[in-house]
């Protein structure tokens, strides 16, 4: 069975992350979730981190991932797990989105005009593969941070 994009059956009301919550003021409402869930919703982190998130070229990806990694460390130093986790999610998303553009021309994986059939791989931008690798290394460095790993495990055990 052909699987289409997940956003086609997205249930906004059932999604645990909400755009009208200030997650710095109410960190107890934040869930780690899987992968990048909530990354484009959770404020004020979305606005703080998102403005630095770029991957068009290797140089831009290097500068972007470095800035976001510095923010990740700053959030940890401030004992702000939610901020650190959101920065980690932006690093992960830098990798996954750059890979999408490396694999598919224009970053489009599905053809809306053809009942959302998956498009051919290998039609994308090779430079985005290099950008993806840059983000991948920063993402994995963030996940390997001992303090972050400890806080994440504790957070998931206590809050989900």
In sequence order, which residues have a C-beta less than 8 Å from that of residue 58 and are 6 or more positions away? 127, 130, 131, 134
Residue 6: its pLDDT value, please?
67
pTM of the model: 0.88
Residue 22: its pLDDT value, please?
97
Mean pLDDT (the chain) is: 90
pLDDT in tens, 34-77: 899 999 999 999 999 999 999 999 999 999 999 999 999 999 99
Q: Domains of the chain: which residue ranges?
A: 19-25+34-158
Q: H helices within 78-124, ranges in order?
A: 81-103
Residue 1: its pLDDT value, please?
45
């Amino acid at each position: 069975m052909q699987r289409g994009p997940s956003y086609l059956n997205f249930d906004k009301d059932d999604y645990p992350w909400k755009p009208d919550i200030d997650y710095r003021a109410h960190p107890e409402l934040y869930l780690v979730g899987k992968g990048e869930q909530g990354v484009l919703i959770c404020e004020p982190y979305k606005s703080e981190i998102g403005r630095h998130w770029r991957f068009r070229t290797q140089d831009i990806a290097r500068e972007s991932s470095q800035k976001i990694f510095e923010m990740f460390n700053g959030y940890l130093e401030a004992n702000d797990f939610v901020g650190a986790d959101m920065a980690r999610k932006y690093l992960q998303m830098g990798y996954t989105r750059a890979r999408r553009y490396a694999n598919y021309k224009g970053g489009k994986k599905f053809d809306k005009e053809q009942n959302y059939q998956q498009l051919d791989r290998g039609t994308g931008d090779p430079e985005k593969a290099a950008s993806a690798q840059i983000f991948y290394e920063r993402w994995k460095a963030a996940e390997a941070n001992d303090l972050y790993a400890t806080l994440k495990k504790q957070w998931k055990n206590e809050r989900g």
